[in-house]
Amino acid sequence: MSRPRAKKIKLLILDVDGVMTDGKIYLFPAPAGAQQTLREKQEKYADQGGYSFSSDNMVEVKGFNAHDGTAISLARLGGIKSAVITKRISETVRLRCRDLRIDYIYQGISDKLSAMQEILTKEGLTAEQAAYLGDDVIDLPPMRACGLAMAVGNARDSVKQVAHLVTEHDGGDGAVRDAVEYILKAQGTLDRVVAAYIGERSPK
């Protein structure tokens, strides 16, 4: 049931906390002199919920999986666009997404379905051409509307129930890699994409 859906995918949308990360959020004291910068960021995003800093003296830290990072590169080489839609707003996420060259970054978003629809409109794609990987109930609306709904291995049961595919690995532990490889295998491009990825980094 999920493989025919995967063959149509041209856009992969990811949640962050619990999908690209293991869901843990670490707060550390801000370095000396950084308080003003944090305060400016809080003011900038004052009208958006869930900003990452609990105070102007703390910074938020997340851990990302290197295998998942490679997955984004493989997806790009396979012609699949990538997007992140998350309720929280985090400088760490912005930097990670920029590093991975993710095409769309939506932070501070509670209505994830509308954000997905906006991306589809920009790309000229239909909902059945989008895959969504989530872990919690806020991900259910876009998962119900997209062509390929995927849940990480440790997603909430209600999320797994609507998913066409549950990844072998948990969020933050290779789930994104599982999702990307599944899609590329279904499209018959995984071997070619891996060879291209290696070729970019080990030219003859």
| Domains of the chain in sequence order | 2-24+65-201 (3.40.50.1000), 26-60 (no CATH)
The pLDDT score that the predictor gives to residue 200 is 77
Region 116-140: what's the mean pLDDT? 98
Amino acid at position 180, single letter:
V
Give the SS3 label for residue 188.
Answer: coil
Dmax over Cα atoms in the chain, in whole Å? Answer: 54
Residue 192's pLDDT band, with cuts at 50, 70 and 90, is: very high
Give the SS3 label for residue 49.
Answer: coil
Region 177-184: what's the mean pLDDT? 98
Q: Burial code of 84-113, b = ≥16 C-beta within 10 A, e = fewer?
A: bbbbbbbbbbeebbeebebbbbbbbbeebb
Q: Is the pLDDT of residue 58 over 80?
A: no
Region 118-131: what's the mean pLDDT? 98
What pTM value is reported for the model?
0.87
The pLDDT score that the predictor gives to residue 38 is 46
CA 186 to chain centre: 20
